[in-house]
Structure 1
Amino acid sequence: MLFGTAGVPNSSPGRSTVDGVKRIRELNLDCMEVQFVRGVKMRDATAKQVRMVASSLNVTLSVHAPYYINLNADSEVKVRQSVQRLYESARIGSIMGARNIVFHPGYYMKRTRDEAFRRVRDALEELVEEIRAFGVVLRPETSGKREQFGELEEIVNLCAELDLTLPCIDVSHIHARTMEFNSYEEFFKALELVENALGSEAVRDLHVHISGIEYDSKGEKRHLNLRESDFRFTDLLRALSDYSADGLVICESPNLEEDAVMLKKKFEELRQAAGARG
């Protein structure tokens, strides 16, 4: 399991993506999710430089596509613009050497869930063919607000119907959205759901987001540091270890690398303990 941060670590002296990658390695972390949330503004030449540095330091990269994506928008123009933003995220991501392209699919927009699902799926089905040569995987993310498309089952079912698509499981979003999903048993069942729908390979190729989170009846309000929240992250790590899961764990806590380092250390302790028992 690889652990890293959503964006450049807070302690990085420089704020460029290259600076962030170097700081990730100094922290003995493993991966970094490059944040394109305000738009894909990285040039091809910069992406090539990022790839070279990340490869030399053995840091795995992923990309978070812009927030301005709604594949279920009322306006067809906005749907096309959303698809284009995803395409550009995938294109630059591939140049950078990032395999996983994370994104929020959109909102229900007062449509039935079945209709929203169909519209999101159809938009992505077309995109998949356009990005096939890039060698990337699209990662629709579970959402934190109930008005957003992105229940765990919706995301898993969406991925089951599309090529080159696997879930981004934001465990804190699911917790905020359901006001449940906060126990070893629930985390383990989620991994079983992924494996049953997508195969054992999907559980060996996870992409997980985690942070503490504040929420109300509508879902997510804001991210918190893990120790300042009610999220039972040790139970999650134990479930991942017991299930022999693999992949990337991206920390989105405000303190970023502090929680990421803590998670990596705890996970390694759990794996070592399990090995000793075995």
Structure 2
Amino acid sequence: MARLLFGTAGKPHSTPEGSTMSAVERIAELGLDCMEIEFVKGVQMKENVAVEVAKTASEHNVKLSVHAPYYINLNAKEPEKIIASKERILHSARIASICGARSVVIHTAFFMGDPPETAYPNIIRNLNDTLEMIKQEGMKITIRPEVMGKGSQFGTVDEVIRLCSELDGTAPCIDFAHNHALKGDKNTYEEFVDVLSRIESELGRSALEDMHIHCSGIKYGPKGELKHLDLEESDFNYKALLHALKDYDVNGLLICESPNLEYDALLMQEYYSNV
């Protein structure tokens, strides 16, 4: 990545008709740079469609990533759920690879009542198994565990950085709004910089040169994230975040998950360009 690119989580609302190719074209028309393809309810895209998506994205210079299905739990108690979770990641990676995407974002695991340190070896082992399958199939795909907004899920900044430092083929998906929602803090320039400096320290400068970021407004309560909001309806300090990203010369994809999608993506893109 040569710069920080802005785009949407899924098809822009103003896409005239429903295909992913039309969504990619609309991203380019809006002046945005990237899009995360959402497979959150299952991987429905066929390989022949993925080929056309890759062609359209290349023609319009739109970078793509993929979000794997939500139904993944690499700490599940039932073996069949572990097998299904691995297959969902693998299927997402296969289609992502055909689409020309380089990253697959995952919601890694639920603790299921386990202490985090008890769950961690299970998560590492099961994700490593999946990474080995991706490698064996020759796919050049990075799996990106997401920073989550609820304490019941694996995915604090510390947990994600630790995992990515231990497993090749992984890199963080940093959702700064989720990080804020966990306890209602982590919402200042200094705290955003702290996350970036820790990534650089523990994963290297290259991790900041190819980041995958989620950003939105957010509503939260005592147990963390409740729902995404538009930026202007939220207390999330996106302007301070954009200053931190500019000051640290962060490159990669910034994916907007606000309900209004392209409006907030363009809002952040414009603000960032004037920082």
**Match for residue 145 of structure 2?**
140
1:33-182 aligned at under 5 Å gives the runs 33-132=36-135, 133-182=138-187
**Equivalent residue for 1:26, pick from 14, 25, 29:** 29
4+ long deviations beyond 4 Å: none
Matched-pair identity in %: 49
- Alpha-carbon distance between aligned partners in 2 of 1:89 and 1:75, rounded to the nearest angstrom: 22
What's the offset of the Cα at 1:116?
1.2
Q: CA RMSD in A?
A: 0.6
What's the offset of the Cα at 1:178?
2.3
Tell whether 2:212 aligns with 1:221.
Answer: no
The unaligned stretches of length 5 or more in structure 2 are none
- Alpha-carbon distance between aligned partners in 2 of 1:114 and 1:74, rounded to the nearest angstrom: 16
What's the offset of the Cα at 1:57?
0.3
- Alpha-carbon distance between aligned partners in 2 of 1:126 and 1:9, rounded to the nearest angstrom: 35
- Alpha-carbon distance between aligned partners in 2 of 1:209 and 1:117, rounded to the nearest angstrom: 24
What's the offset of the Cα at 1:118?
1.1
* Equivalenced residues, count: 270
Q: Quick check: 53-62 or 128-137, which moved more? A: 128-137
What's the offset of the Cα at 1:117?
1.3
- Secondary structure of the equivalent of 1:214? strand
1:174-253 aligned at under 5 Å gives the runs 174-253=179-258
- Alpha-carbon distance between aligned partners in 2 of 1:170 and 1:178, rounded to the nearest angstrom: 14
Which deviations, in whole Å up to 9, do the C-alpha atoms of 1:116-152 show, x marking residues without a partner? 1111111111111111211010000011111111111
- Alpha-carbon distance between aligned partners in 1 of 2:130 and 2:76, rounded to the nearest angstrom: 16
The unaligned stretches of length 5 or more in structure 1 are 271-278
- Alpha-carbon distance between aligned partners in 2 of 1:127 and 1:221, rounded to the nearest angstrom: 30
**AA matched with 2:112:** M
TM-score after normalising by structure 2: 0.97
- Alpha-carbon distance between aligned partners in 2 of 1:115 and 1:87, rounded to the nearest angstrom: 25
**AA matched with 2:57:** A
Which deviations, in whole Å up to 9, do the C-alpha atoms of 1:62-91 show, x marking residues without a partner? 000000000001111101100000000000
Tell whether 2:1 aligns with 1:4.
Answer: no
